[in-house]
Amino acid sequence: MNLPTKITCVRIAMVITIIIILACLYISGYYFDWSSPNIGNIDIVYLSIFVIFIVASATDWLDGYLARKLHQVTNLGKFLDPIADKMLINAMLIFLIFPSTFSRVQFITMPVFSVILLVLRDIVVDGFRIIAARKNVVIAASMWGKVKTVLEMVTISLVLLNGFPFFYLFKEQIHVQFVIDGFAYLTAIVSIIGGFLYIFKNRAVLKEEVKNE
């Protein structure tokens, strides 16, 4: 196993760590009525998850960069990298629909319909990539996909930090939530447009091959 693949495995381990932390937080709150401490409006555990999330997101860039730089692109890496990415982003998106379940100070949530749109988009695009892979067609990532990834990271970070820094700008929680909703739905819109253009541009992959008898 080369270095880039090891970094990908570290990212998967980070996702598992986040899930374990959340499970412990839920059990301690539900069964033992324990709540983690907070700094102002930011839960300490959520702050820790935010740090892990940022580091894990950075490894997504790092393993790809090293694989290309060191000429160590492998089939195992190609298999694990998208799995690690989807585990990280989708786990965070789903969890942040109801973060207040895990923390008493958390009032910002991820709008459920934006999460549904983002997850469905990924399912469709991943299915398209599977078809392309079976035909040995390599499709490069588009700029739309990169913008979508950045927006997802920003939106997830904002929710993890309970709307920071916007809760300093708005007194009412509903106004902070409105701003976060804007980020979430912008991310969903960019994601859907990018996914549509991605499939449309490479639509030849969907054409059936005619075999001569």
> Which residues, 6 or more positions from 210, have their beta carbon under 8 angstroms from its beta carbon?
none
> Which residues, 6 or more positions from 195, have their beta carbon under 8 angstroms from its beta carbon?
121, 124, 125, 144
Question: Of 213 and 118, which is predicted with more confidence?
Answer: 118
198 and 125 Cβ atoms separated by less than 8 Å: yes
Separation of alpha carbons 22 and 95, rounded Å: 9
CA neighbor of 108 nearest in space, from 42, 49, 53, 57: 42
Query: To 10 degrees, what angle do helices 143-160 and 173-201 make?
Result: 160
- What is the average pLDDT value for the chain, to the nearest integer? 88
> Which residues, 6 or more positions from 31, have their beta carbon under 8 angstroms from its beta carbon?
none
Bridge partners for 43 per DSSP:
38
CATH class assigned to 3-206: mainly alpha
> Quick one: what percent of the chain has pLDDT higher than 70?
97
pLDDT higher than 70, residue 209: no
Instruction: Return the percent helix, strand and coil in the chain, to nearest 5.
Output: 75, 0, 25
Write out pLDDT tens, residues 125-152. Answer: 988 988 887 887 877 777 888 899 899 9
pLDDT higher than 80, residue 41: yes
Angle among Cα 165, 167, 168 to the nearest 5 degrees reads 75
pLDDT higher than 90, residue 61: no
Question: Which of 47-56, 72-81, 105-114, 149-158 is the least confident region?
Answer: 72-81
CA neighbor of 137 nearest in space, from 145, 128, 125: 128
Separation of alpha carbons 27 and 168, rounded Å: 31
Return the domain boundaries, the chain: 3-206
Separation of alpha carbons 98 and 188, rounded Å: 18
pLDDT higher than 70, residue 210: no
137 and 205 Cβ atoms separated by less than 8 Å: yes
Separation of alpha carbons 152 and 85, rounded Å: 12
Query: What per-residue confidence (pLDDT) applies to 133?
Result: 79
Q: Tell me the pTM.
A: 0.90
